[in-house]
Structure 1
């Protein structure tokens, strides 16, 4: 049963896309599974993920909580150009991320994990917020600065997505500056024009709260893109 909590109050111009009470507006989906399927098998998998969603995700004290298993929390709605505010708190050895337009991802690391010689392009010690699924060594793939707070403290993301360009602030520090997010599903195709926001499950408990979004108009997008980097 969802714990009772006051509905989060968004800043001016933003809307709450998680109501702090229940899972309304969200469903379960693992795109890495369904993209490999077609026809009846795909439809069966989609239905199964929706049915399992509430077994892996719960609402507790106004927080959206997952223990690291099950399908990803996925918005029913699709979005294009947006500014997203979201807070998270995780545990040791956890690995999570935020998918924009259904595309991975703004990475969340346990920064205390050592580098793995078998995975030379994986650097948790550099911090969260990078576009981990981009080509290694490209702009934005790793964060500009280490901005993570210690375990047990809430971290705050501000994310701006315009077209295929991404800006990420973690705890008020700019960690990705106008970097192109690649289309993970097919790097030969343009970045999707719209899609859901997805919260990844992978490796350990993660808690989310105060999930606010505002849609960026074409006029505002043009103004931002005209600014010098």
Structure 2
């Protein structure tokens, strides 16, 4: 794959060819264990009184290439999510992609994802109420949440979303707690994102991921948003050595279409919502020198 796609002057090579999903494959959104060696997510939800979606393995999301060359993700079966997973594995990288999510659409980019299950680090692109854009979540990694802020929608007089604003902690479904922010080694203020974010338009997400247990840094439209050191204790049940043993220093990339869960329902992923991705490119880093 790398030999078939040219490298630009900055060392980046494209991961989409603009017409097909070559180099990628769809996978259903099937949750595994909540942490390495821990209980299954479905069992934890059931114990809390929530009924997981039945047979998610039979309901992958729909992914296709639009006429403009962008990759589009949407729920194929209402309520069910899924992933678009790279066939290739990556270690230390910089990743750049233009994104255009509908509202509401809970999506993100996974790093170091296992090839056969859901575990990995996720960079959040939660374009929905209480959404954490540019923060981090540990899928199958003790569900750690490390986010600098949360957003909500500005509504016009007819109740239609027309822009982003800061989430109100007093009414938030999922407020940003001090603990979530303190897990970060860098945290931007929400006003820094709001100043650059283009509503109903394309925005650039840049990610740098370096280290066996990586330090991950994000930028949106050139503004540094957040940084996390995953070699530190990010949650009570997050054990760095166990995480490294599970993931190793390399893994797949994945794009996400979220399912609809009991907490958010249709505000997690709206009926007919889509997320669009274009110009995804990667630069592999040599950090041994």
Specify the structure having the higher radius of gyration (Cα). 2
Match of 2:137 in 1: 132
Query: Which of residues 147, 150, 170 in structure 1 aligns to 2:220?
Result: 170
Question: Does the CA contact (< 8 Å) of 1:68 and 1:206 recur in 2?
Answer: no
137-146 vs 127-136, which deviates more? 137-146
Match of 1:33 in 2: 31
Tell me how far apart the structure 1 counterparts of residues 287 and 254 of structure 2 sit (CA, whole Å).
Answer: 23
3-state SS in 2 of match to 1:217: coil
Point out the structure with the larger strand share.
2
1:216 correspondence with 2:285: yes
Deviation at 1:141, TM superposition (A): 9.1
Deviation string 1:104-125 (CA, Å, 9 cap, x unpaired) is 31111226x2xxxxxxxxx42x
- Unpaired segments ≥5 residues, structure 2: 34-39, 41-55, 114-119, 139-143, 146-178, 259-268
Cα RMSD, aligned residues only: 3.2
The runs of 4+ residues in structure 1 deviating greater than 3 Å are: 7-11, 30-36, 181-184
Count of residue correspondences: 190
Pair 1:215–1:21, CA change in 2 (3 A): same
Pair 1:181–1:89, CA change in 2 (3 A): farther
Question: Does the CA contact (< 8 Å) of 2:86 and 2:252 recur in 1?
Answer: yes
Q: What is the TM-score of this pair, normalised by structure 1?
A: 0.70
Pair 1:31–1:162, CA change in 2 (3 A): farther
Query: Which of residues 145, 162, 165 in structure 1 aligns to 2:189?
Result: 145
3-state SS in 2 of match to 1:95: strand
Match of 1:194 in 2: 250
1:81 correspondence with 2:92: yes
- Unpaired segments ≥5 residues, structure 1: 1-6, 37-44, 114-122, 221-229
3-state SS in 2 of match to 1:212: strand
Tell me how far apart the structure 2 counterparts of residues 206 and 181 of structure 1 sit (CA, whole Å).
Answer: 31
